[in-house]
Amino acid sequence: MRYTDFTPFDLVLLAQGLGVTIGLFLATTVIGLFIGTALAVIRFYRVPVLTQVVTFITELLKNSPVLVQLFLVFFGLPAFLRINVTPVEAAVITMSGNTAAFIYVIAVSAIESIGRDQIEAARVFGLTRWQVLRHIIAPQATAFAIGPLTGLLVNQLQVTSLISVIGVMDLTKIGNTLNLRTLQPFIVWAVVGVLYYLCAKLIAWLGSRLETRLRAHTAWKGL
């Protein structure tokens, strides 16, 4: 067997890399959803000063390259704060913050899409702001946000490939390693691309199913 030949163990490496990619994607998605939604709620309550700070931070994260943010967290923070940041920690911090910034925008748009007449009617019946947010806004806003959120998550899955540049052994890093060993870039990157494609299609399918169910649940069914 030549050194450049593919081996069965290469499939194990690809599976491990795919597992790292999916694991980081899921973790940063959950963290991003929590933070982004919390920031949108702060915007809803119009907390003085804090609302302006949130808007500034999210604008900064949305409008700067993810790779620059990654380098800033991995190389900049350790030098500035004298702390140790592992590649995985840097990846989680960067991807979570970037995801949260875009989820914040989607959540704010979804909340603002709810008609003011519904909110005013709810307040007439004595509902508090928290009850209005929970029972009136949240169900409709969630159904509205699923479509844009699905598109965002597909994009964020692809953005995870950037974390390979700081040494995280994700799918892209494994692909690069196999490419350097086998010297067969077309085969290696075709396989890596197909794996990303299948994951993206799965996200899109799940998002479509969830959106259909939520819209059916919130649709007007008459008196």
CATH value at residue 169: 1.10.3720.10
Which DSSP category does 74 fall into?
I
Q: Is residue 43 part of a domain?
A: yes
Q: Is residue 162 part of a domain?
A: yes
Q: Which residue has the higher pLDDT, 24 or 115?
A: 24
Q: Give the domain range for residue 166.
A: 8-218
Residue 2 has pLDDT above 60, yes or no: no
Reported pTM: 0.85
- For 16-54, the pLDDT digits (tens) are 999 999 999 999 999 999 999 889 888 877 777 888 888
For the chain, the distance separating the N- and C-terminal CA atoms, rounded to the nearest angstrom, is 74
Q: Is residue 164 part of a domain?
A: yes
3-state SS assignment for residue 161 = helix
Q: Is residue 57 part of a domain?
A: yes
The tally of domains found in the chain comes to 1
Residues 6+ apart with CB under 8 A from 214: 139, 142, 143, 146
Q: Is residue 152 part of a domain?
A: yes
Across 7-11, 59-63, 172-176, 216-220, least confident range: 216-220
Q: Apex CA 83: angle with CA 64 and CA 38, to 5°?
A: 50
Residues in the chain: 223
* Position 223, amino acid: L
Q: What is the phi-psi region of residue 123: left when phi exceeds 0, alpha when psi lies from -120 to 50, beta otherwise?
A: alpha
- Measured CA distances, 183 to 176, 177, 190 (Å): 10, 10, 13
Looking at residue 31, its pLDDT comes to 96
Of all residues in the chain, what percent carry a pLDDT higher than 70? Answer: 88
Q: Is residue 136 part of a domain?
A: yes
Q: How far apart are CA 29 and CA 16, in angstroms?
A: 20
Q: Is residue 117 part of a domain?
A: yes
**Mean pLDDT, range 198-219, rounded to an integer:** 82
Q: Apex CA 193: angle with CA 188 and CA 198, to 5°?
A: 130
Ramachandran angles phi, psi of 172, nearest 5°: -65, -40
3-state SS assignment for residue 51 = helix
Q: Is residue 140 part of a domain?
A: yes
